[in-house]
Amino acid sequence: MLALQGDVREHFHALTACGAEPVSVRREAELAAVDGLVLPGGESTAISKLLEVFGLLEPLRQRLRDGMPAFGSCAGMILLARDVLDTRPDAQSLSGIDMTVRRNAFGRQVDSFETDLEFTGLDGAVRAVFIRAPWVERIGEGVEVLARVPSGPAEGRIVAVRQGGVLATSFHPEVTGDLRVHRLFVDSVRERAAVRPS
């Protein structure tokens, strides 16, 4: 669990409820010791700067290149993107998923909303909470679209994707009590750990 800024506690609870053993990651040695990483919602430019301050930016990019599973929600999705629109010029990205995202695409805090989404691989609708959320403008080859906004002004916008073991949502599944998205991530971490050479 990247624990530099954002809604860390909510993800901790969700991961624990899924049977995982989350730990806080703030140092390179802690990053090296984990099998997967959650990048929480929060403020993407602040987290980006803190990744540099704590010496985690390049080590995290390398872990992602090496195939470490990751899950980013909201700001975490922004950080995992290859390209980010409407952000500060000094903001860093991790290039964990070949996609372009638009930061704060749904508007300001007062424009936050909830809706039900069909989510590929999950039975039944997922309740999605959007808070100053991004959306995906472009996906590269090998990126799977998992969910789109079903209706309204943003109808059809991509809000959940996966590339290999890296999953990203523009919404916050950690605040709803529905553990299915976290279980997808935990299962991918376990699958990779099971086949990794010892």
- 28: annotated active-site residue: no
**96 labelled ligand-binding:** no
Residue 137 annotated as part of some ligand binding site: no
Instruction: Report residue 34 as tokens.
Output: 């984990």
Residue in 114, 172, 182, 191 annotated catalytic: 172
Active-site residue identified among 21, 28, 58, 74: 74
Catalytic residue check, 174: yes
Q: Is 95 annotated as a binding residue?
A: no
Q: Which residues pair with 162 in a beta bridge?
A: 144, 167
78: annotated binding-site residue? no
User: Going by DSSP bridges, is the β-strand pair 144-148/113-117 parallel, antiparallel, or unpaired?
Assistant: unpaired
Cα 166 from Cα 30, distance rounded (Å): 19
Cβ–Cβ < 8 Å for 51, 57: yes
The answer to whether 118 touches 155, Cβ cutoff 8 Å, is no
Closest CA to 8 of 41, 55, 44: 41
Consult the annotation and say whether 58 binds a ligand: no
Tokens of 141: 């080859």
Q: Is-catalytic flag, 182?
A: no
Q: How far is CA 16 from CA 6, 10, 26, 63, 150, in A?
A: 18, 10, 19, 23, 30
Catalytic entry in 11, 18, 174, 191: 174
103 known member of a binding site: yes
Which active-site residues does the annotation give? 74, 172, 174
Annotated binding site for L-glutamine: 42-44, 103, 131-132
Annotated binding site: 42-44, 103, 131-132
